[in-house]
Amino acid sequence: MANLLALTLACGMAFGAGKAGIADKDTVKLVEMFVKTETADLPPEAIPAFMEVDPETLPDKTVQYVDPKGHTLKIKMKIAYGAKREELLALKRLSDGKRKAPVRRLGLEDPKCAEPPQGSEQMVGMWKFAGYSEADEDDVNWVSAETHCSQCELETEFTLRRMSWTNPPKADKQYPSIRFFFHEKDPVWVLIVSHHTGKNPFGTAFFGTGKPTCH
């Protein structure tokens, strides 16, 4: 942890010191240490510097990455950085949500969400490395009705991520034009899983007395 904090300070002083469009060695080392460290062990003070790194400046190299389940993998640095960043954003949203009222959007105007980005195999892999699981459209429609949250509200209040999808010619598996993902620690995802297993996770010490809802 001390090494990460020292690197954060070094990155702050030397930011932009590398060649144009290429991350300096301290930034690269910071990213390498971040992605191989379990998220719970990251020093909060170092997170802002990590989140500001431009992934396009990172080298095309393979690094050690520890996923949210503690598994150690070897993947490209840009993918590892993107996955860790996506995980941190999801966890922040879930943490912020715990401080909100049980009915998240009572009396509020409908939010506005951007169109889903064009998806790719790389994006799918990055989201899954970050701890996201894919849901089918029937599940999303079911949980939207169950929680009284629109898809956009599931994005703004919880961790729903959508991507637009174009199936390659002669693809072995055909996917729908929109694919849906939730972070596995999201109570909405837990609700979807419980819908299939028949187990009710709510009313436990972890999830509290009620399921997530918007209205």
pLDDT tens profile 116-127:
999 999 999 999
Specify whether the backbone of 210 is left (phi greater than 0), alpha (psi in -120 to 50) or beta.
beta
Residue 185 has pLDDT above 50, yes or no: yes
Q: What is the pLDDT of residue 212?
A: 84
The domain locations on the chain are: 2-97, 102-215
Confidence at 20, pLDDT banded by 50, 70, 90: low
Q: What is the pLDDT of residue 3?
A: 60
CA distance 21 to 8: 19
**Amino acid found at 178:** I
Asked whether the whole model's pTM tops 0.75, one would answer yes
In sequence order, what are the residues at sequence separation of 6 or more whose Cβ sits closer than 8 angstroms to the Cβ of residue 63? 31, 32, 35, 36, 74, 75, 76, 77, 80
> Per-residue pLDDT tens for 145-161?
999 999 999 999 999 99
